[in-house]
Amino acid sequence: MSANEVPQEATGRCFGDGDPLYAAYHDTEWGVPVHGEAELLERIALEGFQSGLSWLTVLRKRDAFREVFYGFDPARVAALTAADVERLLQDARIIRNRAKIEATIANGQAVLALHADGRTLDEVFWSFAPPPRTAPLASFEEMTATSPESIAMAKALKKLGFRFFGPTTAYAAMQACGLVDDHLATCPVVLAR
């Protein structure tokens, strides 16, 4: 979920009311620390595919994305060809956007380049984690679309060959992967802690 999406506050949830898939994502995944090369590549890719769309649209297509991008295994994603891009552009189960598909492949290649340099996406991604908040956000209006860390992350990943990953997308990925905790103080997730 990006800071631009309007929350549904029937349960005090930050977002996700009204759809069981969306609510489950909010309650069990959003803000939970994510580690691992395939896991982070998936989140980077899906945040890129979400750009300009609802996160719920991406969630509904996530299983298909996982299938067509081989579980986001970086080596398999990096090996996709121009013919694969054309095939994926015909697959109605995913978001059919050439730039986003090609960016996902380029991002898989960037992960492999990191590995060749003796580094991991996990260590690079998590190196941008800000200090933990001292208190939960009081209102949705306090949530930002970017941060100094997301700006720095987007710049660093671009330099490493990642595509379709600007500061706003980076911040959404930071929220989704638990680098920042943007659950509201009234959220059932926060209240259950």
What number of other Cβ atoms are within 10 A of residue 79's Cβ?
14
Output helix, strand, coil percentages for the chain, rounded to the nearest 5: 55, 0, 45
Give the active site residue among 42, 47, 149, 171. 47
What region does 11 belong to: left with phi over 0, alpha with psi -120 to 50, or beta? alpha
- CA 103 to chain centroid, in Å, comes to 14
Catalytic residue among 22, 55, 149, 171: 55
Q: Which of 25, 30, 37, 149 is catalytic?
A: 25
Non-local CB neighbours of 153 within 8 Å, separated by 6+ positions: 125, 128, 167, 170, 174
**Is 102 noted as a catalytic residue in this protein?**
no
Active site residue 47: yes
Residues involved in catalysis: 25, 47, 55
